Structures are given as C-alpha cells and as structure tokens.
Amino acid sequence: MFSIDTYDPLNVPKAVGDEIWIVDGPVIGFQYLGMKLPFPTRMTIIRLASGKLFVHSPIRLTAELKARVDALGEVACLIAPNTIHYAGVPEWQAAYPTAQSFCAPGVVRRAKSVGMTASFDAELADSVEREWAGEIEQVMVRGGYLSEAVFYHPKSSTLILTDLIENFEAHKIKSPIWRWLVRIFGSMDPDGCAPRDMRMTFAGHKESLRKAVNQMIDWAPERVIIAHGRWYDHNGTAELKRAFRWAMR
C-alpha cells in the first residue's frame, strides 16, 4: 500500500467548536483498480443537549479512544453516513449495545455484497431523526453507486461531509504515483473536490444534487469537516461553492 502521513495525534478528540469534536484515526487501505490506496480516517462527535453523543463515521475503536469518548458523554447515535463508510460501526455497536444505529440508503446491501453483516435501527433520509431534532440538520445526497447523508450543526456552524469533498495534502503523500492519482482524481488541496470517478455516480441525479448543495450553502457554515484530508476550519461556505462548482454547472 502507498504511504501517507496521518493527522496526529490520533484517537484523541479535538475540539472544533461548541460541543463538537473530530477524532483523527489510522490510515486504511481502500481497494481500487487492483491497488490498495491509503486514506487517513476521521470521525466527528457532537454532544447533544441531553449530554448524549452523536458519532459520525466511527473509526477503529481502541481502549484508549473508548475511554476518551466515554469522558465526553454517553454514546447514543452511531452514523454510517454513506455506502463506503460503515465498516467501523459493528465494533462500536458491540461496545455500546444501547446506542441507536443509522445508515445511508444502500449501506446494508453494500455490506452484504462484500460478505459483511450489518444491522441498523433506521435508514437516513432528508427528514431529521427525533434523536437529534432541533440540534442537527440533515440532507440526503442521492447517487447511483453512492448516497451520502450530510449533517449541519448550527450551534458550531459546522457542516459534516464524508466523501463529497476529499482534500489530500501533497506533502503528506509519500508515493509519487499516489500523489499523481490524487491530482488526476481532482482531490488535491487546495482545490479538493469529490473525486472525478465519484462524480459520475450523480450523473442521473444532477437536479437533486444541486438542491442538496444549495441547502448546504444556505446553511452558511463557517466550518466544513471531511473524512479524508485537510478540513476547513473557516470560510466554509466559500469552500463549498468552490468544491461543488462541478455540480452547479
């Protein structure tokens, strides 16, 4: 597998804003065209008014990470936000059996296709779940191969994406081949976007995609968290307009 530097320290909640944290995790290998490509991982935690935790795209759970998460509150909601980000959920379900699990459309089918059994309490849609109603907004971005649930936390003015924007930093990529591929895919900082191959999944869904992107922009987030690469700690709305210009043409 090609190598890439991580966003240290790992497995440590890092405050992003009021009642919201990111946790950077280890590199995972993603199989693509016979290659195993390295992706740094990142999850997001939001503490709700009840003190319970909303955990978005759970990363690998270690004993140290569990202790740090438990210090923040009770894990109540586990989110598999798209049809690529779900593999970490079962481990968290085992550790937190009373937590409710939510997934994007297609996750269960996708997991089954790779020989993995996945069970969820509800499938995400455009309507907000009662567990976080009034505290987190959401919109579903539907495509062919990939559908992704997008969340907005008004209290911290933070939008949470997964793969709809990827923003790899060249200096962190050790392999010239992987660096070249990232540039070809169109996911290199400072102009990170959805990878070109992923954009194709929305070819037959452009109108609904534009509607979802307009909703994200209307929320006017100051911050945009993404799962892979450098996230945006300011000028979030401007970064959305830049990164989704391919979808708004």
- Name the CA dihedral angle for 248, 242, 8, 51, rounded to a multiple of 10 degrees: -60
Q: Quick one: pLDDT band at residue 54, thresholds 50, 70, 90? A: very high
66-80, 89-103, 104-118, 152-166: which has the minimum mean pLDDT? 104-118
Q: Phi/psi class of residue 157: alpha, beta or left (left: φ > 0; alpha: ψ in -120 to 50)? A: left
Global confidence as pTM:
0.96
Which tens digits make up the pLDDT trace of 58-73? Answer: 999 999 999 999 999 9
Q: How is residue 110 annotated by DSSP?
A: H
Residue partners of 110: CB distance under 8 A and separation at least 6: 83, 84, 86
Side-by-side strand order, sheet with 52-56: 14-17, 20-32, 35-47, 52-56, 74-80, 100-103, 122-123
Residue partners of 114: CB distance under 8 A and separation at least 6: none
Percent of the chain with pLDDT over 70: 98
Which of 86, 191, 214, 221 minimizes the C-alpha distance to 147? Answer: 86
Which tens digits make up the pLDDT trace of 175-205? Answer: 898 899 999 999 999 999 999 999 999 999 9
**In the prediction, which pLDDT does 2 show?**
67
**In the prediction, which pLDDT does 32 show?**
64
Read off the pLDDT of each residue in 221-227 and give the average, rounded to a whole number: 99
15-29, 54-68, 102-116, 180-194: which has the minimum mean pLDDT? 102-116
Overall size of the chain counted in residues = 249
How many Å apart are CA 104 and CA 141, to the nearest integer? 10
Question: Residue 36 pLDDT more than 80?
Answer: no
The answer to whether 55 and 75 have CB atoms below 8 angstroms apart is yes
139-148, 160-169, 211-220: which has the minimum mean pLDDT? 139-148
Distances (CA, A) of 108 to 76, 129, 181, 200: 20, 19, 30, 22
Question: Residue 247 pLDDT more than 80?
Answer: yes
For the chain, which residues make up each domain, given as ranges?
14-243
- Domain 14-243, what architecture? 4-Layer Sandwich (3.60)
Q: Which residue type is seen at 86?
A: Y
Query: How many contiguous H segments (helices) and E segments (strands) does the chain have?
Result: 7, 11
The answer to whether 167 and 228 have CB atoms below 8 angstroms apart is yes
Which of 156, 223, 157 minimizes the C-alpha distance to 18? Answer: 156
**In the prediction, which pLDDT does 113 show?**
83
How many Å apart are CA 147 and CA 107, to the nearest integer? 9
